[in-house]
């Protein structure tokens, strides 16, 4: 029997089992030889995700909204709009929430989680000996597509925020500052589900992704990355270039699919929250919501 996917919930303080959307297909695609061949031949290619994303944007797809809400216990009370009025499943998927549903940590020295999801922290990228699968080192140069930039952050701290299809799918700035242009690094579109990551952790620095440098007063230059994945119709950047942003302000959103956001800090700038560090040290992701505290400022090196 396949091993279940578990994570630690910050709010219940318990280990919980993840309900995986499309689990049967994912296990076939990433755990079986025939499935792996199909992933290489078709599923990882952008055309497949564009086709699926297009389907989820059609009027007919709105019929999926209510069954999805009921099956995955999506909170209707948190939504900014009426779920009956979404014109498509993708419109529902990229839904906004009421501001009070995700309060932003107010302390200037706090860093906020950029998205709802299951989070994994690496306090020192340079000394990390494995991620999800032991013995696979994190390739920062490949991830950033820039050797000089990777050298600057080699001993920095990194947070992986994995969004499931059942999660709120808008991503936000974890700090206040001045963001630059989102730089595209092209690549395939593998799934970022834990099933896929266990089999191929390198997909985090293989997949199509965007890199944004945010210049801040408190934390130096913070890197914000959005990782594309199978069936993610598109990654949309909604922030205004050239304008200062406040912590918690929307940066963009994903349309249908599981997705991933990565946040990287310069060495010595932050210290992750104790519960996040504890779970990550055990190789376990921690569920937390956007706006909650993920780290605090340390003395500038």
Instruction: Catalytic residue, from 259, 273, 280, 292: name it.
Output: 259
**Tally of CA atoms within 13 A in the half-sphere of 43 that contains its CB:** 19
d(CA 59, CA 256): 15
Our answer to whether residue 172 is catalytic in this structure is yes
Residues 174/253/263/11 CA torsion (nearest 10 deg): 70
d(CA 35, CA 263): 31
**Residue 17: its H or E element:** strand 14-17
Instruction: Catalytic residue, from 49, 57, 110, 116: name it.
Output: 116
b or e along 3-36 (b: 16 or more beta carbons within 10 Å of the residue's beta carbon)? Answer: eebebbebeeeeeeebebbbeebbbbbbeeeebb
Residue in the structure block whose two tokens are 């706006």: 291
Instruction: Catalytic residue, from 57, 172, 176, 292: name it.
Output: 172
**Residue 16: its H or E element:** strand 14-17
Distances (CA, A) of 19 to 5, 72, 133, 147, 181: 8, 8, 21, 38, 35
Our answer to whether residue 259 is catalytic in this structure is yes
Query: Both tokens of residue 141?
Result: 């140069």
Our answer to whether residue 236 is catalytic in this structure is no
Catalytic annotation, residues: 116, 172, 259
């Amino acid at each position: 029997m396949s091993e279940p996917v578990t994570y630690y919930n910050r709010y219940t303080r318990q280990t919980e089992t993840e309900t995986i959307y499309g689990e049967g297909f994912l296990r076939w695609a990433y755990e079986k030889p025939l499935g792996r061949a199909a992933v290489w031949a078709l599923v990882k290619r952008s055309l497949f995700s564009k086709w699926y994303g297009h389907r989820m944007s059609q009027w007919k797809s709105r019929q999926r909204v209510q069954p999805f809400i009921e099956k995955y216990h999506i909170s209707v009370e948190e939504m900014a709009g009426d779920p009956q009025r979404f014109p498509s499943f993708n419109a529902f998927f990229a839904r906004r929430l009421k501001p009070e549903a995700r309060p932003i940590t107010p302390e200037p020295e706090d860093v906020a989680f950029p998205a709802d999801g299951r989070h994994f922290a690496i306090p020192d990228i340079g000394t990390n000996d494995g991620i999800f699968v032991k013995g696979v080192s994190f390739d920062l140069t490949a991830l950033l597509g820039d050797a000089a930039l990777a050298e600057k952050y080699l001993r920095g701290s990194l947070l992986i925020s994995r969004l499931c299809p059942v999660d709120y799918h808008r991503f936000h700035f974890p700090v206040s500052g001045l963001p630059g242009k989102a730089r595209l690094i092209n690549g395939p579109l593998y799934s970022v589900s834990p099933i896929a990551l266990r089999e191929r952790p390198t997909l985090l620095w293989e997949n199509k992704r965007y890199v944004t440098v945010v210049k801040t007063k408190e934390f130096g230059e913070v890197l914000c990355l959005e990782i594309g994945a199978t069936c993610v119709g598109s990654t949309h950047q909604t922030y205004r270039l050239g304008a200062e942003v406040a912590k918690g302000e929307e940066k963009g959103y994903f349309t249908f699919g599981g997705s991933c956001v990565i946040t990287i800090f310069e060495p010595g700038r932050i210290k992750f929250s104790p519960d996040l560090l504890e779970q990550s040290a055990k190789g376990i992701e921690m569920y937390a919501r956007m706006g909650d505290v993920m780290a605090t400022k340390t003395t500038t090196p």
